[in-house]
Structure 1
Amino acid sequence: MAYDVVIKSTEMGTGDEALTQNLMNAYIHSLTETDKKPKNIIFYAEGVKLTAKGSEALDDLKELDKAGVNILSCGICVDYFELTDKLAVGGNTTMGEVVDIMASSDNVVYP
């Protein structure tokens, strides 16, 4: 079964920031180690920061990209955070594309 991942934050869960950021990085790293990789990973809101230069998740996201996972960052969010020149993996997407991907997905995962 195909699935898509949607990431809306640089953190996974709530609580101590260092812990929740570590959890998100560990989640993304674990995706590189699984045989069942997602078809798409969509980043929006604060999550787009994970695809920009300086992100601790970049090496893993680049590995996922090379493995054929489509890495997509919300264009509105990229513009809002002024990251256009700082994106280091994947490409921008529109809200229409996000809706289409989520509507046609077998399973949408929100870590």
Structure 2
Amino acid sequence: MANKHLVFSSDKIGEGDLGAKVAVGFLHSLVGVSKDLLPQKVIFLNRGVLLSTHNTHIDNTQALQTLENLEKLGVEILSCQTCVEHFGAKVAVGRLTNASEVLQYLLSSQNAISF
């Protein structure tokens, strides 16, 4: 696993229903990537936390299953605590994090890809 991280700041990649499908499809595709290409961390900020939490805003069943599989592969799943609290959600996969920790990870990473 390389020192790279993915950051989701939305529950969609693009707009509308298609954007929601693309986000879940993208996460699902990561499960098939060779271990040396997997990110160390997938970080969820803002509406992105709706993909990694139990919430009443979206149906994220497929995303949660995929994130559980990524976690089994050694990918750390992190959700912004402030964002989770804002949406009244509860972490379903991974753990809570904060801005200081996220900045430390991003500034020390070789690569950070944001959606």
Structure with bigger strand share is 2
Deviates more, 1:38-47 or 1:49-58: 49-58
Structure 1: how far apart are the matches of 2:39 and 2:23?
A: 16
Gaps of 5+ in 2: none
Following superposition of structure 1 onto structure 2, how do residues 10-89 of structure 1 map, counting pairs within 5 Å? 10-14=11-15, 17-35=16-34, 36-53=37-54, 54-55=59-60, 56-83=62-89, 86-89=90-93
Runs of 4+ in 1 over 6 A off after TM superposition: none
Structure 1: how far apart are the matches of 2:3 and 2:32?
A: 16
What one-letter code is carried by the residue in structure 1 that aligns with 2:6? V
Aligned to 1:6: 7
Percentage identity across aligned positions?
Answer: 35
Structure 1: how far apart are the matches of 2:53 and 2:14?
A: 21
Aligned to 1:96: 100
Structure 2: how far apart are the matches of 1:3 and 1:13?
A: 22
What one-letter code is carried by the residue in structure 2 that aligns with 1:52? T
What one-letter code is carried by the residue in structure 1 that aligns with 2:80? C
Give the CA RMSD over aligned residues.
1.1
What one-letter code is carried by the residue in structure 2 that aligns with 1:39? Q
- The alignment of Structure 1 onto Structure 2 pairs a total of residues equal to 107
Equivalent position to 1:110, from 96, 105, 114: 114
Gaps of 5+ in 1: none
Could you say what secondary structure the match of 1:33 adopts?
coil
Deviations 1:37-57 (A, max 9, x none): 100010000000101135130
TM-score normalised by structure 2 residue count? 0.88
What one-letter code is carried by the residue in structure 2 that aligns with 1:69? V
What one-letter code is carried by the residue in structure 2 that aligns with 1:29? H
Structure 2: how far apart are the matches of 1:6 and 1:45?
A: 10
Q: Displacement, 1:2?
A: 2.6
Q: Displacement, 1:25?
A: 0.4
